[in-house]
Each structure stands twice: as C-alpha cells, then as structure tokens.
Amino acid sequence: MAPDKKAAAESATEKSVVNLSSFYGQKAGMTRIFDEHGNQVPVTVIKLISNHVAQVKTKEKDGYNAYQLAFYEKREKLVPQPMAGHLKKGQVAPVFTRLSEIKVDKADPAVVGGKIGYDNFKASVYVDVTGSTKGKGFQGVIKRFNFKGGPAAHGSMFHRRPGSIGQRQTPGRVYKLKKLPGHMGDLVQTVQNLMIVEVNLDKGYMLIKGSVPGTKSGFVRISKSIKKAL
C-alpha cells in the first residue's frame, strides 16, 4: 500500500474507539499460571486482533440494529475486490477478510469505521465464549456416542457396529435423531461464565480461565456473560 493511502486508511480506522459487549479474538492455545496462593490455574490464551466497525445496520433501514465487525487481517492483495470495496465504503482499511454481526438494542451510525476497544473486558469479568469445535470427520458410534460395542472374539461379527436400528412393519422406518455413524465435531458451541484472568493490551493477549471451543489459531467470539455480571 502506498504511504499516502496507508496513512489515510489508518486515520480512517482509528478515528474512534467503540466499546461493545462482544468482539472477536484468536485462540492461541492453553497454558497455566499461578495465583497469589500458589494454586495452579489453567487458562486459554486469546490473541487480541483488530476489530473494526465496517457497517452499522439500523432498524429503520435493515429491520434490526447491529454492528458489522471486520477482522482477520491479511495483505491487501489477498482481499477479494468485493470485500475491499465494502470495507472502503465503511471507512475501513481493505485488509480484512471476515465479517460478523453483533446485534445491539440501539446502533449509532456515526461510529462506522471505528475500532473496537476492550474497556468492557477487564480482569475478573465473566464472559461467554463462542467458537467452532474441533472437527473429527466421519466417526462410528463408539467414538461418537460412547457405545460399548459387541464381543471382541473372532467370529462374533459384532465388534463396533451400532446394532439393530429398525422397527417392525409398523412404523417400518428409522426414527429421526437415531444415534448412527456420521459427521462429528465442527459445531458452533458456547461456553458460559468463564472468568477473565488477565488482559495485556501492550502484548496483545487475554487470559481466560478454563478451556474454550475451537482449534489453535481458530476465531472465537467473546461476549460479556448474560448470566453473570461483575
């Protein structure tokens, strides 16, 4: 990016800081720390990545109020042109490749292009973390549903099979939601009431007590807890 264009983009994206109840981060892995009493605390490390308001949706125009966030920064040449055009329209530097919406009760169109801040997320604050679980591929019923399986002896012909799944002539079909082999994992899952242990803006990370859904380097949505407030 040319120096003039880069300076203009930076000035546009940093014109304001918006504090919302949710933002997107990147899971960096897990580690442990020790509290003041010497107790071991398992924590998940969240990398704080740039989130910018690319579009503001209002109830009058779109039927609902929401902020559209742009994140996952890449080189400008790797951003598709439709995405780059959309970001430029929202006064955001065209270096992001993902969009997601945060619904709110009231949206302010004046904050478009602003950068998401972390004033609402301090140590000892409870959050809900949403992410996609690890994908396991196509799995059988023993791994997928913890079936016991059949005899392991030779000739039993029933080792890891699910067993009978049908009925008689009535109803003559397999019921829905029957536990059978199939795709496992890669589901959107939310873990509630996790406590923030530390937020380090200088080094760009956040420590959350416990584990969160998703793989290493996966994106997670961190929101203020809807059941706990501190």
| pTM for the predicted model, two decimal places | 0.83
Q: What is the mean pLDDT of residues 147-174?
A: 90
H helices of the chain, where?
A: 3-13, 59-62, 81-89, 141-145
**Each residue's pLDDT tens digit, 107-151:** 999 999 999 999 999 999 999 999 999 999 999 999 999 999 999
Coil, helix or strand for 141? Answer: helix
**Each residue's pLDDT tens digit, 65-122:** 999 999 999 999 999 999 999 999 999 999 999 999 999 999 999 999 999 999 999 9
- pLDDT band at residue 229 using 50, 70 and 90 as cut-offs: low
Predicted local distance difference test score (pLDDT) of residue 4: 53
**Each residue's pLDDT tens digit, 5-25:** 444 444 444 458 889 999 999
Query: Is the CA virtual torsion 169, 172, 177, 181 positive or negative?
Result: positive
**Each residue's pLDDT tens digit, 191-228:** 999 999 999 999 999 999 999 999 999 999 999 999 88
Check: CB of residue 186 under 8 Å from CB of residue 133: yes
Q: Report in angstroms the alpha-carbon separations of 218 from 27, 200, 207.
A: 5, 20, 16
Q: Domains in the chain, start-ordered, CATH in brackets?
A: 11-134+189-224 (2.40.30.10), 137-185 (no CATH)
Predicted local distance difference test score (pLDDT) of residue 144: 96
Predicted local distance difference test score (pLDDT) of residue 9: 46
Cis peptide before 171 (omega within 30 of 0): yes
